[in-house]
Amino acid sequence: MNENPHARAQQLFAQSLVEVLSAPLVWRGFSWVGEQLNLPKTVLELGFVLWWAVPALVAVAAVLQQRASAQPGMPVPQGVRDTRGKNV
């Protein structure tokens, strides 16, 4: 799978822009829920940070799992390709 690096960079920029622009709305949502449930501000702040961190951590874990399973002597999941786009 040969992706255009320029197109990938544009996609990442667009995703980052959406995340930055939506942050105030997400914070307001956490604030509203906190007010309704009478939660301390620390809980809201932790929830807000986890809202952004958990998807990134899951993605990193998936990549690490895929790399670990591609070690010599280990079974490789069907459909996994190397950096040149060839089947492993």
Question: 82 falls in which pLDDT band (50, 70, 90)?
Answer: low
Whole-number average pLDDT of the chain: 80
* H, E, C per residue of the chain: CCCCHHHHHHHHHHHHHHHHHHHHHHHHHHHHHHHHHCCCHHHHHHHHHHHHHHHHHHHHHHHHHHHHHCCCCCCCCCCCECCCCCEC
Q: Which domain range does residue 58 map to? A: 5-69
Share of the chain above pLDDT 90, in %: 27
Tell me if 46 is assigned to some domain: yes
Given a cut of 80, is residue 81 above it in pLDDT?
Answer: no
Is 16 within a domain? yes
pTM strictly above 0.75: no
Confidence of residue 79 (pLDDT cuts 50, 70, 90): low
80 belongs to a structural domain: no
For the chain, the domain total comes to 1
Mean local confidence (pLDDT), 10-24: 85
78 within a domain of the structure (yes/no): no
Percent of the chain past pLDDT 70, that is, above it, reads 75
In-domain check, residue 86: no
In a domain, 83, yes or no: no
Decide if 81 is inside a domain.
Answer: no
pLDDT digits (tens, 9 = 90+) for 23-49: 899 999 999 999 999 999 999 999 999
In a domain, 14, yes or no: yes
